[in-house]
Amino acid sequence: MGDTHIIYTLSAPVLLISLTCVAFSRQPDPTGDMGQVIALTKLARMKRESGKFAEAESDSRRALDLITKVSGRESTTYAIASGNLADDLIAEGRSTEAARLLNAALAAYEFKAGTRTKAYADLLAVQGELLLAEDRTGPAIKTLKQELQIRRDLRSGARDMAVLYQNFAVLYDRAGKPKQALASIEKAQRTWTDALSDDDPEKVSCAATLLVIYTRTRHYAEANRLVPYLVAHAEPAFGAGNPQLAVILTNIGVLYQEQKRYRPDFPASAFKMDTSKPPASGEQPSH
């Protein structure tokens, strides 16, 4: 199957928590400009998650302007907010501008606070997203391994680790390493997403990534089992107008077309929900 048929969305963690923590530590009862920064960052996050990338970018820029006024361009808060804006720019396909912002943010944050913090790991996650967007899979995997080491040292929470494992799955699949991709998805599920509600965006995103891996490796029976779940829960999770919903539906269509290509007798009724476990790493694909 050609790479152009599958659409990837690498889900880097949003930097909201790091920014809010830094802001609160500077001002326990935030009002005025810093309070607006926190509000704008939250608003940008919600818009980004709903697919309103241009509006998210606008709010992130306003937050960055306010941080410049409050703490200057050399502060850690400025570096973190730059990462938020870079994430918006990546979503809009503006990789060159995102790279410029992100490289400066990583260098500034490392100089001010070092590399063994959650905020720096979050910036690395965005860098991994950028490298994937630029189709630089090898450097992206190297970046995420650096992020993984930091999060392990910090004993990061289950959500951050699950998102990281899911990102590894996308990268390993892109690199043509399906065994590692499946192992990473299973780690994400065990770590966090299995405990979430069926309509949770992160759980749906994990299943959507798994569908891509199964489709690419022609494990069609396993991919088919995911379709009813995704059809039922993708729209409640993301909303009718969210680009992520379109990505998932497109990839389901790709799954159907690929089966028609390799199995001319393939019936649409083959899409049946099943709770069986994924195939073992050595199992042959379903044809």
**C-alpha span between 109 and 27 (Å, rounded):** 20
Helix (H/G/I), strand (E/B), else coil: 27: coil
**Structural contact between residues 129 and 12, judged by C-beta atoms closer than 8 angstroms:** yes
> Would you say residue 50 has pLDDT above 60?
yes
Residue 23 has pLDDT above 50, yes or no: no
Stretch 125-147: mean pLDDT, rounded?
A: 93
Strand ranges inside the chain, DSSP E = none
User: Residue 48's closest CA among 80, 85, 21, 82?
Assistant: 85
Say which CATH superfamily domain 3-156 falls into: Tetratricopeptide repeat domain (1.25.40.10)
Q: How far apart are CA 220 and CA 1, in angstroms?
A: 13
- If we measure between CA atoms, which residue out of 13, 18, 14, 42 comes closest to residue 117? 18
Q: What is the pLDDT of residues 72-101, one digit of tens each?
A: 898 898 999 999 999 999 989 999 999 999
Confidence of residue 6 (pLDDT cuts 50, 70, 90): low
pLDDT, one tens digit per residue, over 195-224 is 899 999 889 989 999 999 999 888 999 999
Say if residue 4's pLDDT is above 80. Answer: no
d(CA 9, CA 201): 13
Could you tell me where in the chain the CATH 1.25.40.10 domains are found? 3-156
- The per-residue pLDDT of the chain, averaged, comes to 82
**C-alpha–C-alpha distance, residues 223 and 86, integer Å:** 33
CA angle (57, 62, 64) in 5-degree steps: 90
Please tell me which residue, 98 or 22, carries the higher pLDDT value. Answer: 98
138-193, pLDDT tens digit by residue?
Answer: 999 999 999 999 999 999 888 889 889 999 998 998 899 999 999 999 999 998 88
Q: What local confidence, expressed as pLDDT, does residue 16 receive?
A: 38
Alpha-carbon distance of 39 to 45, in angstroms, equals 10
Residue 12 confidence class, pLDDT cut points 50, 70, 90: very low
Q: Which of 272, 173, 163, 277 is nearest to 217 (CA)?
A: 173
| Residue-level pLDDT at 58 | 96
pLDDT higher than threshold 50 for residue 17: no
Taking Cα atoms as reference points, which of 107, 94, 167 lies closest to residue 137?
167
More confident residue, 64 or 286: 64
pLDDT higher than 80, residue 14: no
